[in-house]
Amino acid sequence: MKPWILGLIWAATGTAAEPAPLPRATSGDDRIEPDWTEHLTVRVGNTNGDLRGDSGAAIQGAIDLVARHGGGTVEILPGTYRLRNSIFMASRVRLTGHGAASILIKEPSVTTTIAADSDWYDQEITLTSSEGFQLGDGITLRAPSARFAIKRTLFARTGNRWKLDRPLRDNLWIAEDNATVASLFPLISGEQIDSFVIENLTLDGNRAANGLLDGNYAGCVWLQDCRRGTLRKLDARSFHGDGLSWQVCHDMKIEDCWSHGHSGLGLHPGSGSQRSRITRCLLEQNDIGIFFCWGVRGTLAEGNRILNNRVGISMGHRDTNNHVLNNEITGNHDTGLLFRREKDSAAAAHHNLIENNAFTDNGPENGTAITLAAPVEGIELKSNRFTDTRTPATRSVLSLAPGVTPPDMSGNSATERRPSP
């Protein structure tokens, strides 16, 4: 076929008739490119590497340098790095470390109130006390009247007046708000980025020394409006909030991560996120292991171990067409799988397939392994195994709220293996 005909086919259908035999890097073309064998790599270490330090500044400098040249790898060498602000990711950057030897830990948080009104167009705040705050700190401002938590960076000051990296875009008024300012932030953040990897790192949220910031705004990793990202082999632990949270992010891969000891959610596929792949993760001792937020669709959760959380998996508001496959769901205190109560039937989590999972010892003495608290339809519970090894109690496999259509229960099995007296 003539090349110009191929061009017409592409213009008409958006689909190439046949792949280019020798792809070349072309300006603005992010679909087809050679498989480069080497990329720019910048190494960060406490005492060696291309950039050196034990704070987040060296890591951020390396990411900015690599991103400026179109992408590449930032390698975090073994050591402990104490963070006073987020590490901000960029597109086409791979941030990698040495597992348990590369530790990013959040410094303890401090909190104060504002001492002067700030309007939505202001780019400064006045603190009641500046003790514990430093230039470069990541902060979160919160007030009852503010619609969202406001995350900013402090980067200039005169006394208790601090300039912000961006304007507020909300009002903070003393008479109405009692607004607080706290040095709270995600350990790693990404907003509106594409094609990135975060892997082989230990992320310590230092929960005992930090205030609460929930997963809509923070976590060991927090992502907003991103695409095609991979989180791999992360030890995300002890955040006063969520472990790994991605909001309105599409085609995400979460692989071989350990998310544990958080006051919030182990994994938080956030509102509107489409086609996540959550595989081979260990999620334990969180409030909820995997929390499907609003409108999460097309997600596969396969081969995960979800242990000793309050709730194992939670699905709710318009979370449809998801597949929960081949997971171990054990010892979750309230229930193993919860379909949350919603405002009406239209908002419920319809058409989800729960297949070939092992549910063991979930729920209290009078509880259930699976709770359908909303009028869900099209739920398939197929070929799952329900086992209870605890002392006799009035537990059951499934509870249905009034008006709930019984799900397809084909191929399931239930056994009891009681301990010897």
pTM: 0.91
- Give the per-residue pLDDT at 9: 45
Of 275, 412, 401, nearest to 345 (Cα)?
401
The segment(s) of the chain belonging to CATH 2.160.20.10 are: 185-416
CB 127 within 8 A of CB 162: yes
Of the candidates 237, 261, 197, 252, the residue with the CA atom closest to the CA atom of residue 105: 237
Question: Quick one: three-class SS letters along the chain?
Answer: CCHHHHHHHHHHHCCCCCCCCCCCCCCCCCCCCCCCCCCCEEEEECCCCCEECCEHHHHHHHHHHHHHCCCEEEEECCEEEEECCCEECCCCEEEECCHHHEEEEECCCCEEEECCCECCCCCEEEECCCCCCCCCCEEEEECCCCCCCEEEEEEEEECCEEEECCCCCCCECHHHHCCEEECCCCCEEEECCEEEEEEEEEEECCHHHCCCCCCCCCCCEEEECCEEEEEEEEEEECCCCCCEEEECCECCEEECCEEECCCCEEEEECCCCECCEEECCEEECCCEEEECCCCCECCEEECCEEECCCEEEEECCCCCCCEEECCEEECCCCEEEEECCCCCHHHCCCCCEEECCEEECCCCCCCEEEEECCCCCCCEEECCEEEECCCCCCCEEEEECCCCCCCECCCCEEEECCCCC
What is the Cα–Cα distance from 125 to 299, expressed in whole angstroms? Answer: 41
Looking at domain 185-416, its CATH architecture is 3 Solenoid (2.160)
Return the structure tokens found at 5: 């005909």
Whole-angstrom distance, CA of residue 58 vs CA of residue 66: 12
Statement: 111-182 belongs to CATH 2.40.30: yes
CATH 2.40.30 segments of the chain: 111-182
Label the pairing between strands 150-158 and 161-164.
antiparallel
Identify the CA nearest to 332 among candidates 313, 358, 347, 352.
313
**How far is 338 from 119, CA to CA, in rounded Å?**
42
Q: What is the dihedral of CA 196, 202, 203, 206, to 10 degrees?
A: 180
Q: What is the pLDDT along the chain (421 residues), one digit of tens a residue?
A: 444 444 444 445 555 556 657 788 888 887 788 888 888 999 999 999 999 999 999 999 999 999 999 999 999 999 999 999 999 999 999 999 999 999 999 999 999 999 999 998 999 999 999 999 999 999 999 987 667 799 999 999 999 999 999 999 888 888 777 889 999 999 999 999 999 999 999 999 999 999 999 989 999 999 999 999 999 999 999 999 999 999 999 999 999 999 999 999 999 999 999 999 999 999 999 999 999 999 999 999 999 999 999 999 999 999 999 999 999 999 999 999 999 998 888 888 999 999 999 999 999 988 899 999 988 888 999 999 999 988 776 778 888 888 788 888 889 988 866 555 5
In this structure, what is the dihedral angle of CA atoms 111, 113, 114, 115, given to the nearest 10 degrees? -120
Token pair of 106 as six digits: 């959040």
Cα separation, 324 vs 349, in Å, equals 13
Q: Residue 280 in contact with residue 255, Cβ under 8 Å?
A: yes
pLDDT given for residue 126 in this prediction: 96
Residues forming beta bridges with residue 396, ordered by sequence position: 368
**Whether 50 contacts 44, CB under 8 Å:** yes
**C-alpha separations of 239 from 89, 199, 203, 265, 301 in Å:** 19, 18, 9, 10, 22
Backbone angles phi, psi at 41, to 5 degrees: -130, 130
Report d(CA 45, CA 54) in Å as an integer: 7
- Confidence at residue 13, expressed as pLDDT on a 0 to 100 scale: 52
| Rounded CA Rg of the chain | 24
